[in-house]
A and B are shown apart, each in its own frame.
Chain A
Amino acid sequence: MILAIALVFGLFAAAQTSPGHDAYNRADRMFREHRYQDAMDGVDEALRLEPNLVPALTLRAKLAMAANRYDVAKQSLERAIAADPKSWYARFLYGFQFYQQNEMPAAISALEKARELNPRDPQAALYLGLAYEAVGRTDDALGLYRRAIELEDAAGTVHVETLLTAARLYLLLGRIDDAAASAERAAKTDPASRDPHFELARIWLKRATPAKAITEGEAALRLQHGDTPDRQIHFLLVQAYRAAGEDAQAQQHAEALRKLDGLNRPK
C-alpha cells in the first residue's frame, strides 16, 4: 500500500519534448497501465537516447523496486542525482529505497535532503518520519507525521495510511485519544478499508471497552480492502471476546487464526 502510494503519487509528466523524452513518456504511460515489461523496454530506449534523463532514471528505479531489484534502483537513482542534484524526487526515491532495504541512516540522510529540496512533499515527510521512528526518534517522527497530514490536507488528498501511521505511534506513546482521532478520520476517509477499523478495535480494547472493540474488529474482518492480515484481526478479536467473557466466540477466532498459521500445524 505504502509502496503503491509512493509509486503512484510521485509521477511526473515530462514537459519537454525530445526523442528521449518521447520514449520516456511512452514508458511512463505503460507504467501507469501496469505494463511493466513494456515500460522497462521504453525506459531503456529513453536512456539510450538520453543517458542522463532524470525522469527516465527515476522511472527505471521504480520499475526495479517493483521487481525487487534494489541494486538496480539504487544505481539508477545515483545516476539521476549526479545528473540533477536538485531533483527532490530522485532524492526521495533514493531515501525510499534505503528505507525499504532497512538501511535507516542512509534513508534518513537522503530523505532529509529531499525534504530540504521540497519541504511541501508529504511523502518525504512521511517516510522520513518512518525512518526516524525506526531508529527510536519518536518525537521527530510524530512531528513529521503531523506535517505529512497537513501537507496532504493542503493538497486535498489525505491518505488513510498517513493517518494510521500517526495513529499507531500515538497508541505506542499511550496517547489514546489522539490515536482515536486519527483512526476515526482514517475510517471516514476510506470507509472501505479494514485498516482504520482494526486500529479502532485496538484503541477500544486499550480503553477496556471490549464490546466496541468487537464491533470494530468484526467490521475490519468483513472488509477485504486494506493491509491488515486476517491473522492480526483474529488475534485481536480473541482478546476482545475473552475480555467480554464470550469465550465461545473467542475460541472460534483462535481456531481461525491457527488455521491460517500453517507454520504451527502438525506435520
Chain B
Amino acid sequence: MKAILAAALLLGVAQAQIRFEEIARKAGLNFQLHNAAAGEFHQIELMPGGVAALDFDNDGCMDLYFTNGASIPSLRKTGPEFYNRLYRNRCDGTFEDVTEKAGVGGEGYSMAVAAADFDNDGRVDIFVGGVNRNILYRNLGGGRFADVTAKAGLAGIDPQHGKMWSISAGWFDFDNDGWLDLFVSNYVAWDPGAEPRCGNADARFYCHPSAYQGVPNQLFRNNHDGTFTDVSRQSGVAAHIGKGMGVAFADFDGDGFEDVFVANDSVRSFLFRNRGNGTFQEVGVEAGVALREDGKPIAGMGVDFRDFDNDGRPDLVVSGMVNDGFLLFRNLGKRGLFEDFAQRSGLLLPTRPLTGWSLGFFDFDNDGWRDLFCAVSHFPSFETYLGKAAAQPNRIFRNVAGERFEDVSPAAGPGFQLAALHHGAAFADFDNDGRVDVVVTTLDGPVKLFRNVTAAANHWLAVRLHGTRSNRQGLGAVVEVILADGRHLTGHATTSVGYASSSEPLVRFGLGASRAVERIVVHWPGGRSQELTNVQADRVVEIEERT
C-alpha cells in the first residue's frame, strides 16, 4: 500500500473520490422498462434491460437506445409502454425521445442491443435481440432507420432450435475482412405455455436455470452486401450448448484475431479462440476461465474483456449471483493462460453478497487504472431467502495500481446509494467532459443516468477510430498510448461490454498528471499499425486508418 501511495505521489496522480450525480430526470430521460411481470413467474421477466450508447446522428454526442419488454404470453408490444426507445442527445445535457420519427419502437420481447456500423456507411446501426424477435435497424441518416432484418438474414431462426431467446449480442470482425460480423448469445429454450412451476403454492418463485435446456450461440458472417450468412455451425460456435448471458470480444492471445468470451448462467463459460481460419476452438477450460477457481460454475451475467492491470493484455471480469463472487481473471500472456485474481485483488469477498448484472472496466477517475462499475440487484421474490431487498445500490470499485480493487461506492454520491433493480448498463462520455458516465436500466422502473462528477484533476484522452480498410469504426483495433514517464496504456475498440448492452466505441485512457502523450500506436485489425506523436491530452483524437 505504501508503495502504491508513493508511486501515486511520484507520478502526480490526483486521487479523487469517484463520484456520480444521477440526472436522468433532469436530462429528460423518462424511459421506463416494462417486464410485464404479473405473478406468473415467467423466466423472461427477470432478464431485460439492454441499453446502448451510440452516436446515431454523428453530432459527436452519445445518444441512447433502450430495449423493452412486451405483453406475456403474446410477446407483442401491445402498447407504447413496451416500445424500445431512442433518445437523441441534444448536446446540452438533455435528451429527446425520437423513437417514432426514427421508426425503432420494435416488436417482440426485447433484451439485447448491439450498436455498430455494420455496412460501413459511416452511420451506426442497431441490432436488437430478444425472446421471440431479433431486429436489425439500418441507419438511413436523417434520423431515420429501416428494419432490414429479413433482407439481412438476421431473424435468428435456427434450423434446429427455431428462434432462440437472445440475451446479448455484439459486433466484431472475426475474419478481419473489414466488415463487422454479429455474435448472438442465446440463453435457454423457453416457452410461455410450458413455464415450469417452482416453489410451492404459498411461496412460488422463479425457477433456477437448471429447469431449462441450454441452447447454442450464433455467429453471422457479414457478406458485404447488407446480408449475413449463419456460420454458427461451420465456425464451431454452435457445437457448444450453454446458457449464454453477456458476451465480450478481445484478442486475448495476440494473434491478430478477436476472440469471444460468453458468460454462461450456472454452467461453465466459453472462451472461443479464433483460429483465424473462420473457425473457433472453445478453450475456456484450458485457459482457466470456464469456472470459478474451485471448479464450480457461477451464474455468469455481465462480462468485460479489458486490460485492468496495464500489462497490455485483455483480462476478464464476470459478474455473478449472490454467494458466487465475481470472477476476475488476469491474462498471463503465455500459452493462453489466465489466473484467478479475484481473491488476491480483494474483489471476491465484497462481491459475494452481490448479484451483479452489467459491468465495465472504465477509468472513472482518469488516474490511469481502469475501475470497475457494476449494476447490482438481486432477483425479485428471493428477498425471504436472502434477508435482503431485491433492490440494491450499484457498486464502484476503484482500481488501485492494478493490484487490488477498493469498494468506493459509499462515497460515490447520494444518488449512487439509491437502491433499484439495476440491470443493463452502457458506458460513454455523454457530456463530453472527459469523464465516463454510466446509464443504467432498472427492471420495471425508470432509467438512471449517472453523470461522472469526479473532481477533474487528472488528464485524459479518447481515440475515435475511422477504419478504411478495416471496419468503419475500427472495432477490434488495439490502441497503445505511451506516456513521457514510460508508461504504456492499452485499450481496444469494442461496443460489446457488460450485459445485454452496448457502449461507446471510443478507446479511452486516463492519463493522471500527463498533459500529453508521446505516442499513440493503433494496431488495426489485420495487423497494420500507425502512429501519432506528441498528442495533447484532454481531447478526443480522430484517427483515420491510412490506406
Hey, which bits of chain A sit against chain B, CB under 8 A? 71, 101-106, 108, 134-136, 138, 168, 171-174, 202, 231-236, 238-239, 242-243, 247, 250-251, 254, 257-258, 261, 263-267
Indicate if the CB atoms of A254 and B387 lie closer than 8 Å: no
Q: CA A251 – CA B387 in complex, angstroms?
A: 43
Which residues of chain B are near A134, meaning CB under 8 Å?
A: 323
Which parts of B277-329 form the interface with A (CB within 8 Å)?
285-286, 288, 290-291, 293-296, 323
Indicate if the CB atoms of B385 and A71 lie closer than 8 Å: no
Indicate if the CB atoms of A263 and B242 lie closer than 8 Å: yes
Could you list 23 examples of A-B contacts with CB < 8 Å?
Answer: A102-B385, A103-B385, A104-B385, A136-B352, A138-B349, A171-B343, A172-B343, A172-B349, A173-B349, A174-B344, A235-B285, A236-B294, A238-B286, A242-B288, A243-B337, A254-B286, A261-B268, A263-B241, A263-B242, A264-B267, A265-B241, A266-B238, A266-B241
Indicate if the CB atoms of A236 and B353 lie closer than 8 Å: no
Indicate if the CB atoms of B295 and A235 lie closer than 8 Å: yes
Given contacts A232-B296, A258-B285, contact A104 B386 (CB under 8 A): yes
Nearest opposing residue in chain B for A70, CB measure = B200
Q: CA A238 – CA B384 in complex, angstroms?
A: 39
Q: CA A251 – CA B286 in complex, angstroms?
A: 7
* A-contact bits for B232-251, CB 8 A (1 contact / 0 none): 00000011111000000000
Please classify how large the interface on chain B is, using the bins under 10, 10 to 19, 20 to 34, 35 or more.
Answer: 20 to 34
Does B106 sit within 8 A of A, measured CB to CB? Answer: no
Does B467 sit within 8 A of A, measured CB to CB? Answer: no
Q: CA A138 – CA B296 in complex, angstroms?
A: 20
Hey, which bits of chain B sit against chain A, CB under 8 A? 160, 200, 214, 238-242, 267-268, 285-286, 288, 290-291, 293-296, 323, 335, 337, 343-344, 348-349, 352-353, 384-388
Residue among B285, B286, B387 making CB contact with A105, cutoff 8 Å: B387
Which residues of chain A are near B294, meaning CB under 8 Å?
A: 168, 202, 232, 236
Indicate if the CB atoms of A235 and B291 lie closer than 8 Å: yes
Indicate if the CB atoms of A264 and B240 lie closer than 8 Å: yes
Q: CA A71 – CA B199 in complex, angstroms?
A: 11
Which residues of chain B are near A243, meaning CB under 8 Å?
A: 337
Indicate if the CB atoms of A235 and B290 lie closer than 8 Å: yes
Nearest opposing residue in chain B for A171, CB measure = B343
Which residues of chain B are near A233, meaning CB under 8 Å?
A: 295
Nearest opposing residue in chain A for B295, CB measure = A232
Q: CA A247 – CA B214 in complex, angstroms?
A: 30
Indicate if the CB atoms of A263 and B323 lie closer than 8 Å: no
Indicate if the CB atoms of A263 and B349 lie closer than 8 Å: no
Nearest opposing residue in chain B for A137, CB measure = B353
Which residues of chain A are near B323, meaning CB under 8 Å?
A: 134
A100, chain B: closest CB distance, angstroms = 11
Indicate if the CB atoms of B200 and A254 lie closer than 8 Å: no
Indicate if the CB atoms of A135 and B267 lie closer than 8 Å: no
Which residues of chain A are near B214, meaning CB under 8 Å?
A: 263-264
Which residues of chain A are near B343, meaning CB under 8 Å?
A: 171-172, 174
A83, chain B: closest CB distance, angstroms = 23
Indicate if the CB atoms of A242 and B335 lie closer than 8 Å: yes
Q: CA A254 – CA B349 in complex, angstroms?
A: 28
Q: CA A211 – CA B384 in complex, angstroms?
A: 45
Q: CA A258 – CA B286 in complex, angstroms?
A: 11
Nearest opposing residue in chain B for A108, CB measure = B387
Q: CA A108 – CA B337 in complex, angstroms?
A: 41
